[in-house]
Amino acid sequence: APSLCAPLPVLGRDVTVPLVTGGEVAYAALDYAASAPALQRVWDDVAAYAPYYGSVHRGAGYLSQLSTDLFENARRTVAGFLGCREDDQVVFTRSTTDSLNLLAAALPADCQVFVFETEHHASLLPWRDARVTYLDAPRSHREAVETLERALADRDPYGPALVCVTGASNVTGELWPVRELAAAAHAHGARIVLDAAQLAPHHPVSVADLGVDWVAFSGHKLYAPFGSGVLAGRADWLRAAEPYLAGGGASRKVSRRQDGGVDVEWHDSAARHEAGSPNVIGAYAVASACKALTEAGFDTLVAREQHLVRAVRDGLADVPQVRFLSLFGDDAPRVGVLSFVVEGWNSSHFAAALSAEYGIGVRDGLFCAHPLLRTLLGSDPQAQGECGSPESEPGEKSLNAIRVSFGAGTPDEHVERFVRAVK
Ligand code: PMP
């Protein structure tokens, strides 16, 4: 077997939690897909900078200038991490949700949007005010590309169009054929935005190589703390749009008009969509995480994570009651995110037992991807618990599953304990 790197040091490694059976155990955080623990290195970087932070872009003081430099350097680091093209813009946002809502607010008039029903709600819902076409869940990469091509072939060929697709599913962990979907979009004159919330922490993402027009991700899933995210990509739609938020920082010049109103000239740079005092520590933390992952090397990180995916799959292969969820087949390439149901168990009870009896934190529910879960579970009586999940309506039969997810900080022991506990 290839030698594997050690897990990267993350916050929370020494946290212990009480068990209902008595005693305490080291907490096994196996919910990286929701929020990854921050890398110790990122935390240290932020702590070292914290005494010096100041407001950005306006202050003449030394620390304001230092912070402005660090903020703009963070933008360059993120651009490098994402393999951005020369003219691309990197906008700091609060999260992937924020990034995709920003792009939705910047769509040109009459833009048609195409999105698979399998998306996370953050990529499914922001387009509702546009002319949006929801595409049925495909069952293979080829079907995904063909479904998109068919939909695009029917579209108004002269108007603008945008495709929104996830790089890796937050439910099944499966990779999507992003490069092929981008080629299909461009062949039909459409643009494409990649939701890389689950992809970027696990795989190198290159805007230029994948041929996508924009990419969105969240800092808190990429081993950075704090509420920061990124939208990076083509500048033209962003420049042509009204600012996402109106306010200081986004405006270059504001003047009173003769008629008593105000005229505004907005910035053309990323600042146009960053009104207000930006989250400079968040941006700094994201850049630090980008550097840490690049230095650790994605080859090494991917190899470790695949080793853990295999440990779960092989470890539970002889437990017939466990059924993993997938769109593209059990062996489809995936990141360290796996969802499953267990015969005879309500998923919420099962997840609660993993926590209370084994100190393992997983997630249960519908994972903010209700249409996908209905497609995956709708006909499966095992997934229909007798007690409601938080997402179910009163009286509705609940649908829910269990999700285990891990990443760069996960020690083998956490996954081994998980497999023992499920067994
Ligand atoms: N897209 C995907 C694929 C996700 O997994 C998530 C988070 N679960 C989001 C978007 C939204 O990310 P955030 O909550 O950080 O905005």
* Spacing, Cα 195 to ligand 1 middle (Å): 8
pTM: 0.95
170 Cβ closer than 6 Å to some ligand 1 atom: yes
103 Cβ closer than 6 Å to some ligand 1 atom: no
Model confidence at 383, pLDDT cuts 50, 70, 90, reads low
* Spacing, Cα 122 to ligand 1 middle (Å): 6
265's CB contacts (< 8 A; 6+ apart) are: 251, 252, 253, 254
* Spacing, Cα 120 to ligand 1 middle (Å): 7
Task: Convert the pLDDT of each residue in 190-222 to its tens digit.
Answer: 999 999 999 999 999 999 999 999 999 999 999
**Taking the C-alpha atoms of 64, 70, 71 and 72 in order, what is their torsion angle to the nearest 10 degrees?**
110
97 Cβ closer than 6 Å to some ligand 1 atom: yes
Residue nearest atom 5 in ligand 1 by C-alpha distance: 170
Asked if pLDDT for residue 107 goes beyond 50, the answer is yes
Task: Convert the pLDDT of each residue in 315-341 to its tens digit.
Answer: 999 999 999 999 999 999 999 999 999
Q: From 218, 334, 338, give the residue whose CB has the most ligand 1 atoms within 8 Å, as the site to mutate.
A: 218
Domains and CATH numbers, the chain: 16-30+297-422 (3.90.1150.10), 43-295 (3.40.640.10)
Residue 97 sits at the vertex; the CA angle it makes with 175 and 329, to the nearest 5 degrees, is 20
Ordered DSSP codes for 281-341: HHHHHHHHHHHHHHHH-HHHHHHHHHHHHHHHHHHTTT-TTEEE--SS-TTS-B-SEEEEE
Asked if pLDDT for residue 395 goes beyond 60, the answer is no
355 Cβ closer than 6 Å to some ligand 1 atom: no
Nearest residue to 217 (alpha-carbon basis) of 36, 59, 343, 370: 36
Residues with catalytic roles: 368
Q: ipTM surpassing 0.90, yes or no?
A: yes
